[in-house]
Chains A and B, each alone.
Chain A
Amino acid sequence: MDLLGSALAVSAIIFSLGVAGVLLRRNAIIVFMSIELMLNAVNLSFIALAQQLGPEGQVFVLFVMAVAAAEAVVGLAIIIAIYRHKQTVNLDKINLLSG
Chain B
Amino acid sequence: MPTSVGWVWLVVVLPFLGFLANGLISLVKPQAKSAVSFIGVGVLVAAFAVAVAVVAGLSQDQQGAPYVLTYWSWMTVGGLEIAAALQVDQLSAVMLIVVTGVSALIHVFSVGYMRDDPGYPRYFAFLNLFVFFMVLLVLGASFPVMFVGWEGVGLCSYLLIGFWYLDKVNADAGKKAFLMNRIGDFGFLIAMFLIFQATGSLAFTEVFEAAPEAFTINGEIITLITWALLRGGAGKSAQIPLYTWLPDAMAGPTPVSALIHAATMVTAGVYLVARSNILFAMAPVSSVVVATVGAVTALFAATIALKQWDIKKVLAYSTVSQLGYMFLGVGVGAYAGGIFHLVTHAFFKALLFLGSGSVIFALHRAYHATHSHDDAQDMRNMGGMRKFMPWTFAVMWVATFAIAGIPGLSGFFSKDGILAVAFARGHDHPVFYLLWLMGVIAALLTAFYMTRLMLYTFHGPSRTGEGEQRHLAEAPWVMTGPLVVLALGSIFAGVLNLPHVLPNPGWLEHWLEPVTELSHRYWNEVHLAASTEWLLMAVATAIAVAGMAGAVIMLKPEKLKAAKEAPAETGIQKVLLKKWYVDEIYDALIVRPTVWMSRNVLWKFFDAGVIDGAMVNGSAWTARAVGFVGSAVQTGRLAWYLLVFVIGTLVLLRAVM
**A positions within 8 Å CB-CB of B:** 19, 22-24, 26, 31, 91-92, 94-99
Contact = CB atoms under 8 A, between A and B. Distances in A.
A22 B646 CA distance: 10
B638 interface: yes
B15 to A, nearest CB: 72
B636 A95 contact: yes
A24 B634 CA distance: 18
Given A23-B642, A23-B643, 9 more contacts: A31-B638, A91-B637, A91-B638, A92-B637, A95-B635, A97-B636, A99-B632, A99-B634, A99-B636
Task: Indicate the member of B631, B632, B636, B643 with the most A CB atoms within 10 Å.
Answer: B636
B632 to A, nearest CB: 7
Nearest to A91: B638
B45 to A, nearest CB: 83
B634 A91 contact: no
Contacts of B652: none
A31 B639 CA distance: 9
Contacts of B636: 94-99
B582 interface: no
Interface in B613-642: 630-639, 642
A87 to B, nearest CB: 18
B575 to A, nearest CB: 75
A7 to B, nearest CB: 21
Interface size for chain B: under 10, 10 to 19, 20 to 34, or 35 or more residues?
10 to 19
A13 to B, nearest CB: 16
A20 to B, nearest CB: 10
Given A19-B646, A22-B642, A99 B637 contact: no
7 contacts: A94-B636, A95-B635, A98-B635, A98-B637, A99-B630, A99-B631, A99-B633
Task: Indicate the member of A26, A91, A96, A99 with the most B CB atoms within 10 Å.
Answer: A99
Nearest to A92: B637
Given A99-B631, A99-B632, A23 B637 contact: no
Contacts of B643: 23
A97 B634 contact: yes
Interface string B45-68: 000000000000000000000000
A24 B631 CA distance: 23
A23 B633 contact: no
A23 B639 contact: yes
B646 A94 contact: no
A95 B633 CA distance: 13
B640 to A, nearest CB: 9
B450 to A, nearest CB: 86
A23 B637 CA distance: 10
Contacts of A94: 636, 638
A95 B637 contact: yes
A95 B638 CA distance: 8
B646 to A, nearest CB: 6
Contacts of A31: 638
A91 B635 CA distance: 12
The 6 tightest CB contacts between A and B, nearest first, are A98-B636, A95-B636, A99-B634, A99-B631, A91-B638, A97-B636
Contacts of B639: 22-24, 26, 91-92
A97 B636 CA distance: 5
A26 B642 CA distance: 12
Contacts of B642: 22-23
B7 to A, nearest CB: 81
Contacts of A91: 637-639
Nearest to A24: B639
Interface string B446-461: 0000000000000000
Nearest to B631: A99
Contacts of B638: 31, 91, 94
Contact of B634 (A22, A92, A98): A98
A28 to B, nearest CB: 9
A29 B631 CA distance: 28
B634 A23 contact: no
Nearest to B640: A23
Contacts of A97: 634, 636
A99 B635 CA distance: 6
Task: Indicate the member of B633, B634, B638 with the most A CB atoms within 10 Å.
Answer: B638
A9 to B, nearest CB: 18
A92 B637 CA distance: 6
B187 to A, nearest CB: 62
B546 to A, nearest CB: 95
A60 B635 CA distance: 36
Contacts of B637: 91-92, 95, 98
B531 to A, nearest CB: 103
Interface in B258-283: none
B540 to A, nearest CB: 93
Contacts of A23: 639, 642-643, 646
A12 to B, nearest CB: 13
Nearest to B628: A99
A91 B639 CA distance: 8
A22 B642 CA distance: 8
B645 to A, nearest CB: 9
B363 to A, nearest CB: 82
Contacts of A99: 630-636
B629 to A, nearest CB: 10
A24 B642 CA distance: 10
Nearest to B627: A99
